[in-house]
Amino acid sequence: MMGSSHTAPAVTTPAAYKSQVRDGVVHTRGVRYGKRADPADRFSALIGPDPADPQGIPAAFPQNPGSMDWLLGPALARLPRDEDAFQVNIWAPVGARNAPVLVFLPGGAYISGAGTADWYDGQRLCGQGGMVVITVNYRLGAAGLMGADGVENRVLDDVLQALRWIQDNVAAFGGNPDDVTLAGQSAGAWLAFALACAEPARGLFGRAAFFSLPFQPPLTASAAGQRAEIFNGALAADPATAGVDQVLAAQREVERAYAGRGLGLQPAADGVLVPADLADFSVAAERLHVESILLSATQDEAAAMLRGLPVPAVSPEMAAGFIAERFQDPQAVEAFIDGRIPGATHHARMVEAMSLYEFRLAATELAAAASAAGVPATLVRFAVPSPLDGIGSPHNFDLPFLFGNREDWSDAPMLDGFDPAGFEAVSAELRAVLLGFASGGVARRPDGTAVPAYDPALPQMLRLSAAEAELVGPERLFLRR
């Protein structure tokens, strides 16, 4: 691990911050980890927070309405918007000293989301695991990714600033800066993975957990430039100082231009934090500077992305074309899908193929590559179906179970009607996996049994369904084109 020489006195919370205590957990919201060096420039680099203004009302960075609101509910809409929402929320056990630290990066396709949202309430993880839990905001959309000449990975600089702030300050909240796990979901998982391979992040965390890590090669300089051209053409103003509504409208034009072809705004290769070969897991795994990783994917990730596509609109040619364009052996993939969902609609086949290609294979490929590089990896599959008709276990559905905070998802359509006892049983399994990993590097079951690390000679993963948790073999590693 990163070492264990650091000691700190038992504390409740630094006097500079306003906190609340509930059930043995101190919750400190809206803590500032940085500020813009130039307040007039939304693209400005960050410096440390102003000691005279260490905390604010929890907020989210400006964003357009999220494409997953129909699934997740309106929690994000309840947060005020602020271009200076460089904030973390912190949960710490009362009297903690040298407690493990779990840092979580939310997802949102780089254009929506907030670590300050109630969805990511760390009360239960903190109380059960005896660890400090920290959720992080980072700049979104154009503010986090767009530069004068193309895409710039300012979003990663934000996360680095947050991690450095945590190193310098978490001991005051009872955490051990030498025992930090960085976790993320979806876009947050991609950012965590990039930093787990990036030399400037070495020493800031010792383990990494990736939930729904997407297979997402970084943009090339040419692709980034094309996006910048669309954005700047739509904005027709200085992007550093234009109005927020103008920026969001121009950003929407980029998203429209790439609809159906991938993400409009996403990180680009920069040769420093994001190498061009980051999605080549066999190469990237050799750069991992963490002692172990945890990988989890939901069974039907793409159901969330394809919900708006009418079932009759997906022709046999569309589904078959997607498979033929992306896999070296499309016939083998077609046969696999036939066996897994026989008689399914072409829409369902598209969901299966996309879930496999974009998420499930990414988890298995990285687990295998990390193992070969000497970094133990644990593989988990979340296969619990949502009560929402026709979406199975979609992208994001594992989040309420991971945090164990069903009450904060009471208005999420994807969870409406889910049996409370069943929720608790599944949540206990998923929380135990993450807490075991974050506290000692070994994922565990609720009874303390260790989940075995991925072994290429006998590959296994922990599959969580509504009925049981069991060790099973993952899908074969279908080769990508």
**Are the C-beta atoms of residues 105 and 134 closer than 8 Å to each other?**
no
**From 186, 212, 292, 355, active-site residue:** 186
Residue 186 catalytic?
A: yes
CA dist 162 → 100, 364, 430 (Å): 17, 29, 26
Active site residues: 186
